[in-house]
Amino acid sequence: MGPQIYTRYAKYYDVIYSDYLERSVPKLIDFTVKVFKEVARRDVRDVLDIACGTGGPTIELARRGYRVVGLDISRDMVRIARRKAVSAGVRAVFKVGDMRRIRFRRCFDAVTCFFTSINYNVSDDDMLSTMKGVFRALRDGGVFIADAPNPYRAERWLRGEPVVWRVDHDDVSILILDSVVMGRVSALIEWERTLVVKEGGRVTMIPDYHRLRAYSANELKLFAKLAGFSDVRVYGDFRVEDVEPRDARRLVLVATR
Ligand SMILES: C[S@@+](CC[C@H](N)C(=O)[O-])C[C@H]1O[C@@H](n2cnc3c(N)ncnc32)[C@H](O)[C@@H]1O
């Protein structure tokens, strides 16, 4: 792993993504529960949420009665997740760790990886070790769910157009300057983000850099098959359907062990 990610930026993650956390996560978990019930070939009780960040989806799963473990490479994100679980009054275990080196063996009925986190695997080796670790962590009949952007819908990233947006929350106001450029051959995504944070009358600039890689639906399925998964599908935009969609903004890999 290159430079440390999600450090100073962690503190502002929940403000920047408040819309995702408050409005999208409950729907994301509705979909997840549907997959647990309709696709998994076993009862789902124990869930490992890899790259769990500040624990939005992990805590929502715990609220719905699942026994959850969240794993994230960023100590700062995990610290926030633990604090949030306590204030939400739910039981959730959070650990600091790398999704490419998952140490659990046959402990879980499901593994989840939400909100483009699977795309932090930039090399074939990274992706394969993540998928193999997930496979080993699952009990037979368990499922892996990961959502990713569809590279065939990434026109803006291909054009490399900068985007500026703003969020205001209580006494914090953040201007977000994003430059996201995706390679047409490598599918590598160079994501440069600068936060201009106005808080308590002070203005601070926080630069942040993320390197990701886009995967097509077929590539996601191929890596899952190489890792040993038998039943591998891709859903579009969080809809459980019998037929693979013709088009979708978000791809959701669902792989059963
Ligand atoms: C976009 S956030 C998503 C967080 C969370 N899943 C959510 O839905 O809010 C991506 C997260 O991936 C984590 N991450 C990136 N690379 C990782 C790795 N190799 N192992 C574990 N976590 C990683 C980052 O620290 C960050 O918290």
Record the tokens describing residue 13, joined without a space: 């993650």
Phi, psi (deg, nearest 5) at residue 77: -65, -45
Q: Both 26 and 105 in a single domain?
A: yes
Do 123 and 36 lie in one domain? The reply is: yes
pLDDT in the model for residue 2:
53
Q: Is residue 121 part of a domain?
A: yes
How far from chain centre, in Å, is Cα 241? 22
Dihedral (C-alpha) 103, 108, 110, 114: value to the nearest 10 degrees? -40
Question: Per DSSP, what are the bridge partners of residue 49?
Answer: 70, 112
Nearest CA to ligand 1 atom 10: 117
Q: Full-prediction pTM beyond 0.95? A: yes
* CB contact at 8 A, 138 and 144: yes
How far apart are the CA of 120 and the centre of ligand 1, in A? 8
Q: Please state the separation of Cα 62 from the chain's center in Å.
A: 17
Residue 4 lies in a domain: no
Pocket test for ligand 1, best of 120, 131, 209 (most atoms within 8 A of CB): 120
Nearest CA to ligand 1 atom 26: 53
Q: 69 pairs with which residues across the strands?
A: 48, 93
pLDDT of residue 3: 58
- Asked if the structure places residue 56 within a domain, the reply is yes
Q: What are phi and psi of 116, to 5 degrees?
A: 70, 10
The range of the structural domain enclosing residue 141 comes to 10-150+214-256
Residues 143 and 170 in one domain: no
Examine the domain organization and report whether 26 and 146 are in the same domain: yes
61-66 long-range contacts (CB < 8 A, ≥24 apart) are 61/29, 61/32, 61/112, 62/88, 62/90, 62/91, 62/92, 63/88, 63/90, 64/29, 64/33
pLDDT for res 170: 87
CATH number of the domain encompassing residue 167: 2.20.25.110
Which residue is associated with the tokens 């604090």? 83
Tell me, yes or no, whether 102 lies in a domain. yes
* Helix, strand, coil in percent for the chain, rounding step 5: 35, 35, 30
Tell me if 3 is assigned to some domain.
no
Residue 109 lies in a domain: yes
Pair (47, 92) in one structural domain: yes
Looking at residue 241, its amino acid is: E
137 and 202 inside one domain: no
Q: What is the C-alpha R_g of the chain?
A: 18
Provide the residue-wise pLDDT of the chain in tens; the chain has 257 residues. 455 778 888 999 999 999 999 999 999 999 999 999 999 999 999 999 999 999 999 999 999 999 999 999 999 999 999 999 999 999 999 999 999 999 999 999 999 999 999 999 999 999 999 999 999 999 999 999 999 999 999 999 999 999 999 999 888 999 999 999 999 999 999 999 999 999 989 999 999 999 999 999 999 999 999 999 999 999 999 999 999 999 999 999 999 99
Give the count of beta carbons closer than 10 Å to the beta carbon of residue 178.
Answer: 15
> Rounded to the nearest whole angstrom, what is the distance from the C-alpha of residue 180 to the centroid of ligand 1?
18
Q: Is residue 145 located within the same domain as residue 160?
A: no
For the chain, the maximum distance between any two Cα atoms, rounded to a whole number of angstroms, is 56
Q: What is the reported pLDDT for 161?
A: 92
Q: Judge whether 2 lies within some domain.
A: no
Task: Supply the pLDDT for residue 7.
Answer: 82
Residues with CB under 6 A from ligand 1: 5-6, 51-53, 56-57, 72-74, 77, 98-100, 114-117, 120
- 5 within domain boundaries: no
> Can you say how many angstroms the Cα of residue 107 is from the centroid of all Cα atoms in its chain?
20
Q: How many domains does the chain have?
A: 2
Among 179, 196, 212, where does a domain finish?
212
Tokens representing 210?
């993320």
Residue where the block lists tokens 């593994």: 111
What is the reported pLDDT for 1? 46
Co-location of 72 and 106 in the same domain: yes
